[in-house]
Structure 1
Amino acid sequence: MSSWVGDGDEDDEDAADAFEAVGRRSQILQALSSEPLSKAELVRALSVSRSTVDRAVERLVDLGLVERSDGGFAATTAGRVALETHDEALRAMANVLDAGPVLDRLPESVNPPPSLFRDAVVCTGDLTSMERRVSIDFDLGEVTEVIGFNGPFLFSSWPEAREQLMRLGDGATLVLSAESLDWLSNRYPDGLDAIVDAGVRVSAVDDEPEFGVVVMNRPTTASVTLVVYDHMGGPEALVVSYDPSAVAWGRTLVAAWAETARPYRPDE
């Protein structure tokens, strides 16, 4: 039995070269993903020179992303997937750049996965859009489970949030900073006791981190939100992702904080 192991650096260079080729020729690859076209048709449809089309098609054929079809050229399955992958990578990179205010505030120990930024919603600076996003993503009406670390914004609509948390019971786990728990117990002592009596797990950590993570399950979707706070404790910037691997990362992170937290016991 024989095995083959490729050169990782060489593979990376080939992938980078192909990525650049797709980016530079994305219009042509997109056109050929819809239907077979001749070079003359590409020139007319894209308003580019024949020499540009010749070079682009030749390069895409060399990469296996385009093939001859019905007297013209058409994108291969690899070509269509490569185009979609390229576009997804660009969107993810744009989200990473937009999320700079979030990422810059995170401690080095918190290392968000790249999947967090795939088709993510990023809100920074615009308080109106952020408040709207928070009201949408933290509406507990359809939520079947919520686990959160340092998410005091979950209580912004008390007593509605209290009623929904009581409905969730042991389907809700909230790890708060000691300061947030003190504020909650002083502001809504009866409500806090009520959600704990309903089965909600509430605990606190001594740290006062400037960020929070919340995972929510709904009947058909799950989301993870990474949020950073301003000096008043309000949301300053956030990233919302529905990517399954990003949600799993958020769940693991909250569970780790929960292991070190002190449970809230109103009767002690």
Structure 2
Amino acid sequence: MADALTVVRRRRRILEYLCEGAAPKRDIVATTDSSRSTVNRAISELSSLGLVERVDGGFRTTTPGRLSLDVVTETSETMRTIRESSDVLSNIPLESCVSHRFLVGADVVTGDSAAPYSGIDDAFDRLRRADRARGFGVADNDPRWTQTLHERATEGSLSVDVAITRPMAKYALDRYDDRAAEYFAADDYRVRVCESLPFGMFLFDVEDRTVAHLLVHDEAGSFIAQVENDRPDAVEWAEARFAERFEAGVPLSEFTE
């Protein structure tokens, strides 16, 4: 007999229908547009694996069946995101170990060649409204971003924890030297410097909701696209990646010494 994953993929439509409630075989045939023999084989396979069961009114999906269906559905959605966004994702280094969990239900927004920062508009809007921001800064692509982050953090309306690379720290201090003292004086503006960072990423807390934005750049550091997700498991993954890198960095004030 085929393995359970293969069976669930092949009989997915029937499992989905039986998740809605018990149904006799004749209704399964009519609703799924399958032949009687196909439904008989499907019920036999699914029953032998404990994924459907006979009840009053016909057959229904079991809890293991629903969980198995969830896994296959999630995998299919993730594979579709990967396939449709392969050109974008190929710019993320393999060693960065981006989790497939971050891609489940994610929105991928690319920049326009005529307006390269348009792909970051959603993230920028959240930056303007957020109470808290955490993330990795690997490039200074959009002047609005740096200006807004600085203004909101130094005025006390935004709590910021950001990790940046050594080249980015040197660049920022050279370009924004007049603001360095404000960076160091702001209680809720914490910047740490890391040897390297895998990608650009920010998490924004807006109205009791956290949204994670993974920022994709090409080899030259130019912004290409963002991958946005607010699913709890995606946010949890992003928070863990941020925490481990931020804690490993040194305060910006030490970097300047």
TM-score range, shorter chain: 0.7 to 0.9
The two structures have a TM-score, normalised by structure 2, of 0.77
Moved more, 106-115 or 62-71: 106-115
In the aligned structure 2, how far is the partner of 1:72 from the partner of 1:233? 59
In the aligned structure 2, how far is the partner of 1:267 from the partner of 1:29? 61
* CA 1:216–1:21: 2 relative to 1, 3 Å: same
Match of 1:83 in 2: 69
SS in 1 for 2:39: helix
* Correspondence list, 1:4-15, <5 A: none
Contact 1:96–1:117 (CA under 8 A) maintained in structure 2 = yes
Query: Residue 66 in 1 paired to residue 63 in 2?
Result: no
Task: Report how far residue 87 of structure 1 moved.
Answer: 0.7
SS in 2 for 1:214: strand
SS in 2 for 1:156: helix
Query: Residue 148 in 1 paired to residue 146 in 2?
Result: no
Equivalent position to 1:202, from 188, 191, 197? 191
Equivalent position to 1:235, from 214, 217, 223? 223
Q: Which AA in structure 1 matches 2:252?
A: P
* CA 1:155–1:255: 2 relative to 1, 3 Å: farther
In the aligned structure 2, how far is the partner of 1:97 from the partner of 1:161? 34
Q: Identity rate of aligned residues, in percent?
A: 27
Match of 1:162 in 2: 150
CA deviation map 1:147-188 (0-9, x unaligned): 222243575345433222225578312222344344444544
Moved more, 24-33 or 93-102: 93-102
Equivalent position to 2:106, from 120, 123, 134? 120
SS in 1 for 2:134: strand
Task: Report how far residue 141 of structure 1 moved.
Answer: 3.5
In the aligned structure 2, how far is the partner of 1:210 from the partner of 1:112? 9
In the aligned structure 2, how far is the partner of 1:179 from the partner of 1:198? 23
Moved more, 134-143 or 50-59: 134-143
Match of 2:43 in 1: 57
Contact 1:211–1:226 (CA under 8 A) maintained in structure 2 = yes
Contact 2:134–2:242 (CA under 8 A) maintained in structure 1 = yes
Moved more, 60-69 or 223-232: 223-232
Aligned residue pairs: how many? 253
In the aligned structure 2, how far is the partner of 1:205 from the partner of 1:266? 10
Match of 1:222 in 2: 210
Equivalent position to 1:136, from 122, 125, 129? 122
In the aligned structure 1, how far is the partner of 2:110 from the partner of 2:256? 41
CA deviation map 1:10-43 (0-9, x unaligned): xxxx9x8222211111111112222322222222
In the aligned structure 2, how far is the partner of 1:205 from the partner of 1:81? 41
The two structures have a TM-score, normalised by structure 1, of 0.75
In the aligned structure 2, how far is the partner of 1:69 from the partner of 1:194? 69
* CA 1:267–1:229: 2 relative to 1, 3 Å: closer
Query: Residue 95 in 1 paired to residue 81 in 2?
Result: yes
Q: Which AA in structure 1 matches 2:54?
A: R
Contact 2:21–2:60 (CA under 8 A) maintained in structure 1 = yes
SS in 2 for 1:233: coil
Equivalent position to 2:165, from 177, 188, 192? 177
5+ residue gaps, structure 2, are: none
Query: Residue 263 in 1 paired to residue 249 in 2?
Result: no
SS in 1 for 2:83: helix
Equivalent position to 1:45, from 18, 25, 31? 31
